[in-house]
Structures are given as C-alpha cells and as structure tokens.
Amino acid sequence: MSILNQGRNEIRFNNAGGKCLLENWVEERQVQPYDTVKGDKESESSAQMFRDGHPGILTLDFDSGVSRDTTIRSSYKPPKHPGVRSEGKKEELMRQMFLEQTINEVFNTEINPPEPEPTDFKSVTAKDFNIEGFKHVPPQPTKPHDYKKEQPVTFWSEHKDKIHGVSSVKTGDTPFRKNDAFSQPIDEY
C-alpha cells in the first residue's frame, strides 16, 4: 500500500452504473432502488437528476409540505397550571392587602409630598466652628518657649530618623542644618 493512496483501493475500475465519485459505489448501490425517476434518462446525467437528493429516502408522501414541527416544539411544551390552588386563601388575601397598602403609600407620597426641610444657609465655619456656648481654653505651657530662637515642631522634625537622604544631625534641636564636618580641616573639627 502506498502513502499516496492512504488505504484506498489501488486497482481502479468502474464499480458503479453511473458517473459517481471514486469509492462512492457503496452509497450508489444502496440508493439504486429509489433511483426510479420519471423522464428521459439519456438527456440528463444522474448528477443533474439527483441534485436535490434521492426521492423516497426520507418520505414516501411526495405531495406533503415541509413540516414546521421541530424538536423544541414537539419535546418542550409550556408548563400547564396544575388546576388546584398553589397558595392558601389567607395568603392570597394578605398579599392583596399588602399590595394595596403599598400602592396607597406610594400614591400618597406622590400626590402629597412631605414639606421640604428649610435650607440652612450657614457656611462651614459658622456651622462647625462657631458653636454657641463654646469657650476656648488654651492649655497651660509646660515650660517657657521663645518662638524666635526655638526650632518649630513639625511632622518632619518629629520623624527625622525615618527620612531617607538626610545628612547626619549634629544637634537635637536643629536637625535640618547642614553638617559640613566632612569638608572642614581636621584641626578645626
């Protein structure tokens, strides 16, 4: 067996009565009883005669129309009501009562809307910071301070050890002054 034929017959001879595809003679022999076609067989080829398939394979009633019935339509019917009550009379009456009550509440709020709250035209300062009855009492200082000489306390001065890239600190009260000790002569250091 050669690689070119890939399992087909290597001997080529006409197995069928008509013109068909190679190796298609099995199908042609199976449909031979249904190939009785009215008309002149010499004027048309078998491919022309059977272009719409072989008549009589699927149905023997040739005058019937195409059925509109599908698998979905025949298998899946819509569910039918069981014919008995699915909920009790009390539950139905309560549901109806709650529905009417909700509808009345919605329509009442639409027809008679509640009075809007009066607009407060106070600013944020007047509303949040100028509270009536509040008396500011500053805390007592723990030691005397001189704002001209002391370093102010800020976020950065409190976190001077965690800041990346700051040169070494000489004094505790002035952490951000430059340390020029690396450029001074040794005898001045």
For Cα atoms 62, 65, 69, give the angle at the middle one, nearest 5 degrees. Answer: 125
Q: Are 169 and 160 in contact (CB under 8 A)?
A: yes
- Residue 187 DSSP one-character state: G
Cα 36 to Cα 40: distance, rounded to the nearest angstrom: 11
Q: Where are the beta strands (DSSP E) in 60-117?
A: none
The most confident of the ranges 82-86, 151-155, 170-174 is 82-86
pTM of the model: 0.24
Q: Are 18 and 41 in contact (CB under 8 A)?
A: no
- What are the backbone angles phi and psi of residue 128, rounded to the nearest 5°? -100, -30
- pLDDT tens across 109-144, in order? 888 887 888 888 888 888 888 888 888 899 998 888
